[in-house]
Amino acid sequence: MRNMFTKTVAIMMIVAFSSLTVVPMGLAQEKSNEDTENTGTQYGLGVVSFVISIPYSALKLAFATTGGIIGGFTYLFSSGNQKAANSVWDTSMRGTYVITPRHLKGEEPVRFFGVPPIRDEAPAATSMPEPAPAPAPASATP
């Protein structure tokens, strides 16, 4: 029973990862609009994206969970430095969790590592005024 399960998982992994190279080449046509695609192509993309999403999502969830824990330790050991913790959390917890047909067509990027959002954390421009020039020494005349 265990041997059959191992073979099944191995075959699913081989099919899933080999389709990453085969499917995009087959879809490299000028017409990638859903209106011009036939039902078979849409169905095939849906099936392939589902099959690929199973191992990919499991890996991404494990990575995000580990990153969440490490980000918590980063926050704790950096004396509450939110910026340091956010850099770990953004990289590990953001990104793509499910592969969709749009990813397989190349219309959207697959981001395993998350991209941090744009934050308005520009440091305040506190410019110090330039000191006034020192007065010229008074010349002593006899």
Q: pLDDT (tens digit, 9 = 90+) per residue, 39-49?
A: 888 888 889 99
119 found inside a domain: no
- Over the range 94-116, which residues count as b (16 or more CB within 10 Å of their CB) and which as e? bbbeebbbebbbeeeeeeeebee
In the numeric block, which tokens belong to residue 14?
Answer: 């081989």
Query: pLDDT tens, 75-122?
Result: 999 988 899 999 899 999 999 999 999 988 888 888 888 887 776 555
In the numeric block, which tokens belong to residue 78?
Answer: 């950096």
How many domains does one find in the chain?
1
Give the structural domain span for 62.
2-27+37-105
Q: pLDDT at position 67, please?
A: 93
Cβ proximity of 51 and 58 under 8 Å: no
Cβ proximity of 55 and 13 under 8 Å: yes
124 found inside a domain: no
93 found inside a domain: yes
74 found inside a domain: yes
Q: pLDDT at position 6, please?
A: 72
Query: pLDDT tens, 24-75?
Result: 555 555 455 555 678 888 888 889 999 999 999 999 999 999 999 999 999 9
59 found inside a domain: yes
Cβ proximity of 85 and 72 under 8 Å: yes
Q: pLDDT at position 62, please?
A: 93
- Its pTM stands at 0.56
Closest CA to 20 of 90, 99, 137: 99
131 found inside a domain: no
Cα dihedral sign for 67, 73, 76, 77?
A: negative
88 found inside a domain: yes
62 found inside a domain: yes
Number of CB atoms found within 10 A of residue 88's CB: 18
Cα dihedral sign for 59, 60, 65, 67?
A: positive
For residue 18, is pLDDT > 70? no
Cβ proximity of 13 and 93 under 8 Å: no
